[in-house]
Amino acid sequence: MIKLTKLASGVIAVAMTFSLTACGGGTEKDTNKAADSTAAGTSTAATTQEVAQNTEKVKIKFLSLSADDNRNNIRDKYIKVNVEKEMPNVEVEYDLGGGGQDYANKLKAYNASGDMPDVWFSEQNLSSVVVHAGNALDLAPYVQKTGFDKKFKMQEVVTPDKDGKLYCVQPGADQYFTPRLWYHKDVFAKNNIKVPTTFDELVKACETLKGKGIVPMSIVGKDGWTPNLHMLQTMIMAEDPQVAVDLTNNKTDFSNPVVKNALGRIQKLVQAGAFAPGVTNIDYGPAVEMYTSGKAAMLAMFTWETGNLEKAAPDTDFIVWPSAKDGNDANASIQFWGAPLSGYLVSANSKNPEVAANFAMFCATQDALYYNIEQKAPTALDTGVKVEGISPLLQKSLDQFDAAKVKIPSMWAATFNTKMSAEISTLNSKLLTGKYSADDYIKAINPVWAENFK
């Protein structure tokens, strides 16, 4: 389910809820504030009126992740607290599904039986299976009827797919997670290195740092993580963002010359010594620590690490990923983490589809309130809560994000199926050795890509 238009048409976006592992604990004060906010009308406007017309309690079964602080806080301190006020005639049965593989197995069992809970929270890889089985309700009519879609600053989050259907509602919390090239300002200053604006300047900076015994750029190399999640797409967009859009829309394949050039640029960074020795074995934690400890001058990482980087390395700033082609404005397009089927879904067989749909929209709103109030994070869904206390560095990142004319989802999250993800992980690991050619990569990946959208 991909929601993209041609690059020429303007802003391009889809969304997902990735942050299942984020930490956060609410206080009683914050919970009261959330309740006041929803009471003021930040939740689904039509919900209370419609449900209040019922004379009996409508029972809704809700499957929730329960092995994660983030999800637990949203469910216990927001959904449970506010549903009694917003949907007084709804009785919710909470099915706590655990987390990880346990949750996945439980949802798969529900899907196999066809007897789904009325509403559940899911990620892209699990949601797509349920949609394919015909067990997910089309939420487009309910979203449009209630005006829920009008509450989004990025309308693409609630825009139906090409078939006119919308299977998931979400707060758009991950809309603002984008890959950055973070750098130590003092390291650059001490070594007389200017902030690169072109790819060639980036390579030169890496060579200079390497020559001084400094790891130029820390990345997560294990299983090809950084190239998988964003670097390959970053290098494509550095030359021509439209090719990234075309890939996402299945209008081109990996033999596209721009894709081949992008693979070549990653290979060039490897050969220039941009990454640490043994990069293919470096996992997430060590990659971040390599930067925060000052062993690496730069870090390729998403903005979900902003707070951690600010605390551990106060001299941190970010570089807009450099352009690889004259005339390509690096500030004009941006990549973000997002998937259209990560959020709240409703059973196609629910006995009370309208109430279930309204509850799903209510839950998405509670998510947004949680992120706005407790995480101090913006969401695409406008709750009316002003996010305060944003650091100057995060504000700078958000300003650059908002100013970008074209926003493209990370293909790993929004486009690749399971087989494609596995194959590209293998090939990106090979690419990071510096001994695997772009031609061999393309020859191996294109047959898998040809099956990606089927």
Specify whether 47 is located in the same domain as 125. yes
Taking only the tens place, the pLDDT of each residue in 355-407 is: 999 999 999 999 999 999 988 888 999 999 999 888 999 999 999 999 999 99
397 is a domain residue: no
Specify whether 290 is located in the same domain as 205. yes
Of 417 and 450, the structure prediction assigns the larger pLDDT to 450
361 is a domain residue: yes
pLDDT at 38 over 80: no
Residue 55: what pLDDT?
A: 61
Mean pLDDT for the stretch of residues 68-96: 94
Specify whether 69 is located in the same domain as 53. yes
Per-residue tokens: 105: 């197995």
Specify whether 281 is located in the same domain as 147. no
Domain extent at residue 418? 178-336+406-449
Specify whether 331 is located in the same domain as 428. yes
pTM over 0.85: no
Beta-sheet strand order (sheet of 215-218): 215-218, 296-302, 179-184, 316-319
399 is a domain residue: no
Specify whether 221 is located in the same domain as 160. no
454 is a domain residue: no
Taking only the tens place, the pLDDT of each residue in 261-299 is: 999 999 999 999 999 999 999 999 999 999 999 999 999
Residue 10: what pLDDT?
A: 39
Specify whether 157 is located in the same domain as 84. yes
Looking up residue 348, the CATH number of its domain turns out to be 3.40.190.10
14 is a domain residue: no
Residue 4: what pLDDT?
A: 38
208 is a domain residue: yes
Taking only the tens place, the pLDDT of each residue in 149-168 is: 999 988 878 888 778 899 99
Specify whether 365 is located in the same domain as 421. no
13 is a domain residue: no
Specify whether 130 is located in the same domain as 277. no
Mean pLDDT for the stretch of residues 243-265: 97
Domain total in the chain? 2
Residue 193: what pLDDT?
A: 97
95 is a domain residue: yes
Specify whether 189 is located in the same domain as 241. yes
Lowest mean pLDDT among 37-51, 260-274, 407-421: 37-51
Mean pLDDT for the stretch of residues 407-436: 92
pLDDT at 13 over 60: no
pLDDT at 23 over 90: no
Specify whether 208 is located in the same domain as 353. no
Specify whether 344 is located in the same domain as 331. no
